[in-house]
Amino acid sequence: MEDPKVLERMRADWNARAGEDANYYVAFGRRDQDDEEFFSTASDVVKILELDLKRVRGRDAALEIGCGPGRLMRPLSRHFREIHGVDVSDEMVRLAEQRLRDTPTAHLQHCSGSDLAMFPEEKFDFVYSYAVFQHIPSRDVVFNYLREARRVLKTGGILRCQINGLPPHAKQYDTWSGVRITADEITQFARDEDMQLLLMEQIWTQYMWIACRKRPAGWTASLAGRRVPRASVIHRISDALTGEAVAPARGPLAALALWVEGQPEEADLNNLTVTADGRSCRLMYIGEPEKDGIAQVNVALPEALRTGMVPVELLWLGQPVAEPVWVRIIPAGPSVPRITTITDGINLLSGTRIVTGVVKVTMHEVSDAAQFHATLEGLDVLEIESFCTDPSWQRYEFNFRLPAQVAPGPHEVLVSLGKRKFAPLEIEVA
C-alpha cells in the first residue's frame, strides 16, 4: 500500500526542483540550459526508444510516465496519433503544457504519483519511462506503476522503462536516490503479470533497461507442459559487443549474439534458455524477427567458462529447439584501467571547462577505487567521492573539488591509480 506521505514528498520535492531549474534536474547536463539545448539532450534516449518501436504493433497512442517538461514527448509524438504524459509534479506538467503547445497530439496530466487511474484499460500501444523510477523511494510505488502500465497497455503492447538496478543498500531512499530493484524481482514481476520479458540490460546499474510485451491473462501458466518441435536454426554466433567470431571467457565482453531463424514467437527471458558447454547463460535481449525471419538473441556467458571450442544450445520451455552450434572461447585479456571522460562535475555539458569548481573523472576497469589519486599544480584535489556506475565494466565516477588556490585558465590534472599513472588531462578553470 502506498504511503500518502511518500507521494506528497515526491510531489513537493519535484515541484521545488521544477521551480529551481527543471531542465537541469531532468537532463542533468548544465544549469540554466535554454530550451533548444535542453531538447537536444534527448537525442540519444530517443534513438534507443525509436529502435524499440519495431516491437510496437500499433501506433494509436503512447504514454510517458514521468514526462517532466516534455523533453521526450515532442520527438516521439511523430510516431503516434496521440501521446500522453503524466507527472507527479504539477509544476512539471505546467512547463510541459507550455513547451508542447505547438504539438497538438500531446496531452498532459498531473497524476497521483503511483497510478494511472485517469486512463482506461487497453488504451496504449507503447508505455515508456526514462530516469524516473530511479527517483522513487518506495518499492510499492514502482511496482504499482509497472502493474498500472500493464493495465493500460493493449494486449501485445510494449512497456519500455528504466529501473534502478544498483545493488541494494541499507541507506534511506529518497526522491533523488530512489529504491533499488534487482533483476530477479523484475523477472518475477513478468511471470506474475503475464508480461513477455524481452530485454533486461545494464543490470546492476542505476539505469537498468527492461522491455516487456503484454500477453493475455493466464499466458504464463498456459505454457506449462507444451511440447515444441526442434524447428529453429542458429545461423550465426559471435561476440555480442564486438561482432567477432570469438568471445572471452570472462569480463564485460563475455557475451554472445545468436542469430536465430524460426524462434518461438512466445520466447522470452523467462522461458528461453541458452547454454554454453552445458551451463546456463544469462539472457539479456530477444529481438524482433527481421524480414528474413531471423532474430537476434544476446546472452552473457557463465562465470569461469572453459576456453576452446564449446557447444552452444538453444532451449525453449526446457526443450531443445535447434541443433547445437560451436563457438571459440578465448582467455580474457588483462584488466587495463583507463580514463574515458573528464568534465565539470555538475554542469556535464560544459565538458572540460570547469565552471563549478567540481570535476568528474570517469574510468573503466577499476579494481580498487580507493587507489584513485589526483593532483593539480602539485596540489592534492579535495573531497574525492567515488561511485560505481557499472560493476560488470568496473566503471567508476570520481568527483572531486579543485583546490581553492587554483587560478582561472588552462591546467593539467594528473591522475594515478595505485602505481599506474595516466597521461595529463587538460581542463580550463573558469
pLDDT digits (tens, 9 = 90+) for 246-292: 999 999 899 999 999 999 999 999 999 999 999 999 999 999 999 99
Residue 43 reports pLDDT greater than 70: yes
383-422 pLDDT, tens digit each: 999 999 999 899 999 999 999 999 999 999 999 999 999 9
Q: Does domain 338-429 have CATH number 2.60.40.10?
A: yes
Mean pLDDT of the chain: 95
Task: Answer for the pair 327, 256: CB distance below 8 angstroms, yes or no.
Answer: yes
The pLDDT of residue 225: 86
Instruction: Give ranges for CATH 3.40.50.150 in the chain.
Output: 4-222
Residue 170 reports pLDDT greater than 80: no
- CB-based burial of residue 356 (10 Å sphere; 0-12 exposed, 13-18 middle, 19+ buried)? middle
231-252 pLDDT, tens digit each: 999 999 999 999 999 999 999 8
Residue 96 reports pLDDT greater than 90: yes
From 237, 273, 241, select the one nearest 258 (Cα to Cα).
237
- CB-based burial of residue 383 (10 Å sphere; 0-12 exposed, 13-18 middle, 19+ buried)? exposed
The pLDDT of residue 171: 78
Residue type, 399: N
Residue 174 reports pLDDT greater than 80: yes
Residue 141 reports pLDDT greater than 60: yes
Task: Answer for the pair 7, 142: CB distance below 8 angstroms, yes or no.
Answer: no
Residue 28 reports pLDDT greater than 90: no
Residue 29 reports pLDDT greater than 90: no
Ramachandran category for residue 315: left, alpha or beta (phi over 0 → left; psi -120 to 50 → alpha)? beta
44-63 pLDDT, tens digit each: 999 999 999 999 999 999 99
Distance CA(174)–CA(181), nearest Å, equals 14
305-329 pLDDT, tens digit each: 999 999 999 999 999 999 999 999 9
Which class is domain 4-222? alpha beta
Residue 168 reports pLDDT greater than 90: no
The pLDDT of residue 1: 57
Over pLDDT 90: what percentage of the chain?
89
Instruction: Give ranges for CATH 2.60.40.10 in the chain.
Output: 233-330, 338-429
SS3 180: coil
pTM score: 0.93
Ramachandran category for residue 75: left, alpha or beta (phi over 0 → left; psi -120 to 50 → alpha)? alpha
Task: Answer for the pair 67, 44: CB distance below 8 angstroms, yes or no.
Answer: no
Instruction: Look up the CATH number of domain 233-330.
Output: 2.60.40.10
Who's near 228: CB < 8 A, 6+ residues apart?
264, 316, 317, 319, 321
Over pLDDT 70: what percentage of the chain?
100
Q: How confident is the model at residue 26 (pLDDT cuts 50, 70, 90)?
A: very high
